[in-house]
Amino acid sequence: MAQYFTLSDYSMSLPIILLTLFALDILLIDLWIPIDRKWFNAVTAFVGVLVSAAAVYLRIQRPLDAAGLPAQTAFMNAMLLDHFAIYFWYLFLAGAAIAILMSVRYLEIEHEHHGEFYALILFSVVGMMCMAAGIDIVLIFIGLELMAISTYVLVGFLRTDRRSNEAALKYLLLGAFSSGIFAYGLSLFYGLTGSTNLVVIQNRLAREMAGQAHANPIAVIALLTTATGLFFKIAAVPFHQWAPDAYEGAPTSMTGFMSVAVKAAAWAMLLRILIWGLAPLRPVYVPLLVFVSIATMTGANLAALTQNNLKRLLAYSSIAHVGYMLLGLVAGDAHSPMADGIKGILIYLLVYTFMNLGAFAVITSLRQREVIGDELDDIAGLYSRAPTEAVLMLIFLLSLAGIPPLAGFYGKYFIFLSLIESKHYVLASLAVLYAVFGLYYYMKIANAMFMREALDKTRLPISLGMRTALWISAFATLVIGIYPEPFIRAVNWSLGIAQVGPVASLVR
Amino acid sequence: MPQNYVPIFIFVALIGVLIPVTLLAAKLVRPDNPNKTKLMPYECGIDPVDHARGRYTVRFYIVAILFVVFDVETIFLFPWAVKFKALGVFGLIEILIFLVILIVGYIWIWKKGALEWV
């Protein structure tokens, strides 16, 4: 019988274990906390995120660098801890931390301040970490389901709100359906190659493809079904219908969390599967990506123009951003993805985390006892009600639109650059054209904030947690925009082993 | 290879022939005297009281969900129990971790009052 897990496996997954412990802890402690002290759960969750981040640094990043290893596998090659995984882990933890800060006051206003909210956020981060670090499709799928199920519950967390219930039900049904299709595609790959490990799948697919003009039709079907599942999870256009509804109905702080961390996790999974596992099928999936990204940019940007609900508008804008990011995967010739494109995707996800959470933080703070606060009219005249927040919101909006001195510019810059370098001129011009559409609907919000009269003239109260979240996001958006050097270096570092060679030698 | 499909076509043809033949034969051979009790839908031996689309209380759902959770627990415990000797201390620790997580859930539903039939 083979050898089982060793101590180093557990040490490698320590951040995940710690998060799980904190989540269980919150569930238990919450039972004995009186209703007016529920903020304590948020503190526990926040500490849990910090402890987990410290564990990532001390137990994984530093030993890896000290040993000079590019990566290490754990749990019988199911988990690959490389810089790519560590990068995404930090991203998820940052997203979760900001979302927790945003939620405290909001949940009090909604009268739904339960510890389960924070426990579920931590559980979903555990799932995301498994997705980013998984190199075995079984682990990736379990991580995906853990994340998705936690998110379904979080979307429907406002139990007395019909919109929230409707959103959760739609999300659950469509999500379960797409997970089924995704699992079907993965099972076909298992049938084709006889392994669940992405590296082995890649080697065997490459061997089978060698010397053949066309891909095996079953491999193409498997690719289509797998890609359908992946596109659903990142909400690319033919499979995006759930996103605006789920984003609109979900608690606003949760919408922010979904649009950054959940989406980043889906991207980590997509990159792992498409670049690692299915690399030999790249000539087949590139045309598919081109089609989906054009459809995504067109559909989402046109739909966003007419929205009057802020959450719906940002939902469509987040779909549009997915369209730009998909272009990063298209760049490169038919056989090798271009590093610049992947770099662009990673930078995009990093800056998107902060600017989008920041924008959602401002929308979250509009929710008051009597005001739902997610319509365009509710943000009107924000400058007179809360000048600092209005200016910060303007920064986030300009960054989302990709205006140069701000972070959002660098995401778009690297992706468009990689497109031009790989001679996809038409795609690059299309993307730039659609970025102008984006500027229009973001400025529509800015116009309402600064040019219109407020319906409700009272000063907007901003809680301490919210203020911290806003400042962290704004600080990150500005710093990445003005001094991007260390972040670009971090992305290069995380992609240091994105080439398949060294990884393949690690997993035999 | 088209000839590889020949067995499948034979199977399909067999299904098409065999099922009507069996049903017909059964119809001809069996005694046929239906009465009211025989034609009632079978519901674990109890007389059905209402039609199936009637509404019933949401508490049944909670019980059903809790049942599923702890049912799945047993599914994981069985293979471990069968392979207990081979898995040794390692298996014992792993299953204990699994049980502790479930026990936290158990305490949680207990304190939340999901086990009480209000």
Q: What is the ipTM of this complex?
A: 0.79
DSSP state of B40: S
Question: Which among A4, A20, A28 has the least Cβ separation from residue B90?
Answer: A4
Angstroms from B12 CA to nearest CA on chain A = 24
What is residue A231's predicted lDDT score, i.e. its pLDDT? 94
Ranges of each domain in chain B: 2-112
What is residue A187's predicted lDDT score, i.e. its pLDDT? 94
Question: Which among B86, B108, B112 has the least Cβ separation from residue A1?
Answer: B86
How far, CA to CA in Å, does B52 sit from each of B41, B60, B67? 10, 15, 22
φ, ψ of residue A55 to 5 degrees: the values are -65, -40
Contact B104 A27 (CB under 8 A): yes
User: Is residue A506 predicted with pLDDT exceeding 50?
Assistant: no
Contact list, A24 vs chain B (CB under 8 Å)? 101, 104
User: Is residue A1 predicted with pLDDT exceeding 50?
Assistant: no
Per-position DSSP letters for A136-160, written without gaps between them: BHHHHHHHHHHHHHHHHHHHT--TT
Angstroms from A27 CA to nearest CA on chain B = 7
Q: What is the mean pLDDT of residues A54-80?
A: 85
Angstroms from B9 CA to nearest CA on chain A = 22
How far, CA to CA in Å, does A262 sit from each of A96, A163, A412? 10, 21, 21
User: Is residue A500 predicted with pLDDT exceeding 60?
Assistant: no
pLDDT in tens, A25-43: 999 999 988 888 888 999 9
Interface list for chain A against chain B, based on CB atoms closer than 8 Å: 1, 4-5, 20, 24, 27-28, 31
Are the C-beta atoms of A330 and A341 separated by less than 8 Å?
Answer: yes
Contact list, B105 vs chain A (CB under 8 Å)? 27
Query: What is the dihedral angle through the alpha carbons of A246, A44, A80, A255, rounded to the nearest 10 degrees?
Result: 10
The CATH number, out of the four listed (3.40.50.11900, 2.60.120.560, 1.20.58.1610, 3.40.630.10), of the domain defined by the range B2-112: 1.20.58.1610
Q: Best interface-test mutation with A: which of B95, B102, B104 has the largest number of A CBs within 10 A?
A: B104
pLDDT in tens, A248-268: 999 999 999 999 999 999 999
pLDDT in tens, A343-381: 889 999 999 999 999 999 999 988 887 778 788 888 888
Contact list, A20 vs chain B (CB under 8 Å)? 101
Contact B104 A24 (CB under 8 A): yes
Q: What is the mean pLDDT of residues A87-92?
A: 94
Question: Which among A4, A24, A31 has the least Cβ separation from residue B101?
Answer: A24
User: Is residue A141 predicted with pLDDT exceeding 90?
Assistant: yes
User: Is residue A128 predicted with pLDDT exceeding 90?
Assistant: yes
Helices A339-366, A83-110: axis angle to 10 degrees equals 10
Put simply, whether B12 touches A (Cβ < 8 Å) is no
pLDDT in tens, B42-93: 777 777 777 777 787 888 888 888 888 888 888 989 999 998 888 888 888 8
Contact A1 B90 (CB under 8 A): no
What is residue A457's predicted lDDT score, i.e. its pLDDT? 78
